Structures are given as C-alpha cells and as structure tokens.
Amino acid sequence: MRRLICAAIVLVVALAGQALAETAQEGIEADASTRQVAITSSFTGTEILVFGAVQNSVQPSPEAGTYDVIVVVEGMPAPIVVRKKSRVGGIWINTRSMRFASVPSYYAIASTRPVDEIADKAVLDAHAIGFDHVRMVPIAHSRTEATDPAELKSFKEALIRLKENERVYIKSDFGVSFIGRSLFRATIALPPNVPVGPLTAHVYLFKEGQMLGEYDSRVMLQREGVERYIHETAMSRPFLYGLVTVLLAAGSGLAAAFAFRKPA
C-alpha cells in the first residue's frame, strides 16, 4: 500500500512536471521591418520597426507585464579615442586620452522597462545589454593615456554621453510595447549621422529575471546611387576624385568670371 502511494505520488509529480514543462516552453520570434536601409543623397535619418511574438505566451493581457522584451540594435564595432581637455597656460588642450579597441559605432536599446529592473548585472554584462554593459575594451597606448580605474570610468561615461549627444546611442526604457498577449513592437531611430555598415538586431525575452530566448536579425545599411559612387571613388581612387574636385572648382570659377564679365 505504502509502495503504491509512493508510486502514485511519483507519477503525479512527474506528470505535473511534464505539464509544467509544456506550458513553460516559451520562445521568441522577431524580425525588423526593413532589411535594407539605403543611404542616398536625400537621407535624413529613418526608423526601423522591430516586432515579434512570444510563443506559448501565458500572459493574460498586454498590460500584465509577465514578460520583458529588450531590443538592441548595434552597429559595427570600431576603435575610438576619447580625449580630455584641461587648461594648460590659460588655453584648453587635449591632455589625456583613452583608446578603446572596439566600441559599437551605433547602439540603440529599447525595453519594456529599465533594463536594470529586468535582469541582474551578470546577465546584462554577458549579453552586453544596456549602456553600462556595452563591451568597451580599453587599450593602453602611450603615457598620456588613462590607466587609473576611476579615470577609466570617467572616460567610459564621457564616451557614452558624447555618443548619446550625437544621437548614435539611443535608450528608450519603455520603448517596447505589447500589443497583444504575445505580440510586441518597438521603433528604433536611425539618425542622419548613423554610421554606415551592417546593423545587428538582438531581441531578448525575459521572465522574472530569466532569459527565455534570443532572436537575432540583420539590417543592411548601405550607400546607394550617387552617394555610393562618390564615396567609393573618394576611397578607392582618391587621386581621380581630387582631380575631378579641382576641375569642377576651377571650371565654375572660370565660368562665373566669364558669365559676369563686365562689358569692356
């Protein structure tokens, strides 16, 4: 009898566990509205829509807040130098600098609520989610470069602040909204000065601080038409490009002189 009860309990627990596991299999599917953004001579910035759905959502309503979604759109990593001015003999001169081996050239983050409330530091660090967790690797180069941790922190903060001022680092704490039990969306702004190159969109799904899934998508950002032609010429055939510029300049100068020539 006892053995039977034990067996029954084990069976019930196992069944319940299985049922729980079935309902808990939540996943994420997402995509960006545009896969290709063309930078033409009339480019003045644009917006991309990142949308997706939570699979097997148990969320009773869009406002319930069962899930947290974080959308991160990142540009290509690039090396960067942060310089700091100080007063030397009455004038302001760059005296200290900090070189970072690779920093995202563009970083936009949107979430259902502030990221620090969604997950703990270790998770955010691991996935480079949020301005404070973006990977920035400093490299020591010369003796004028900062090494002290407090100074390093001030340089990192300055880097983020300056990138935010340039509008290439964008944070929107409540930028992701659920429009159904499972459907969510976020708009990400691409400013006119967005660095040209491929963008990666990461969409993360969280529930009670646990990451349930991640979905990645690529957005191509490239020059098109005349913009592309001019830029390619300037980069790959600089001599020809310089010559054409000079000819255009000299030509217009002479043409104007001819057109406006005073009747002698």
Partner 1 sequence: MTLYLPIAEMSVSVIVYLALGVSIGFLSGLFGVGGAFLLTPLLTFLGIPSAVAVATSASHVVASSVSGAVAHYRRGNVDIKMGLVMLGGSLAGTYLGVSAVKILRVAGYFELTVSLMYVIFLGVVGTIILVEGINASRQVHAGRGTATRKSGQHGWLEGLPFKMRFPRSKLYMSAVPPVIIGMFIGCMSAIMGIGGGFVLIPAMIYLLRMPTGLVVGTSLFQIVFAAVVATVLHAVENKTVDIVLALILIVGGVIGAQFGSIVGTKLRGEHLRVLLGAVVLLVAARMAFELVLPPDDVFSLATVAGAS
Residue with tokens 């997706």: 52
Closest CA to 180 of 28, 38, 18, 64: 64
Q: Which residue, 179 or 220, has its beta carbon nearer to partner 1?
A: 220
Q: Tell me how far apart the alpha carbons of residues 188 and 201 are, in angstroms, rounded to a whole number.
A: 10
Q: Are 186 and 64 in contact (CB under 8 A)?
A: no
Kindly list the residues in this chain that would bind partner 1 in the complex (CB under 8 A). 39-45, 78-87, 90-94, 97, 99, 155, 158-159, 161-163, 165-166, 192-193, 195-196, 223, 227, 230-231, 234-235, 238-239, 241-246, 248-250, 252-257, 260
User: Smallest distance from the beta carbon of 170 to partner 1, in angstroms?
Assistant: 16
User: Smallest distance from the beta carbon of 33 to partner 1, in angstroms?
Assistant: 22
Q: Which residue, 23 or 165, has its beta carbon nearer to partner 1?
A: 165
Q: Which residue, 131 or 184, has its beta carbon nearer to partner 1?
A: 131
User: Smallest distance from the beta carbon of 219 to partner 1, in angstroms?
Assistant: 18
User: Smallest distance from the beta carbon of 150 to partner 1, in angstroms?
Assistant: 15
Q: Which residue, 93 or 179, has its beta carbon nearer to partner 1?
A: 93
H, E, C per residue of 196-256: CCCEEEEEEEEECCEEEEEEEEEEEEEECHHHHHHHHHHHHCHHHHHHHHHHHHHHHHHHH
Q: Are 198 and 76 in contact (CB under 8 A)?
A: yes
User: Smallest distance from the beta carbon of 73 to partner 1, in angstroms?
Assistant: 19
Q: Which residue, 124 or 221, has its beta carbon nearer to partner 1?
A: 221
Cross-strand partners of 204: 70, 214
Crossing angle of helices 225-236 and 238-259, in 10° steps, is 110
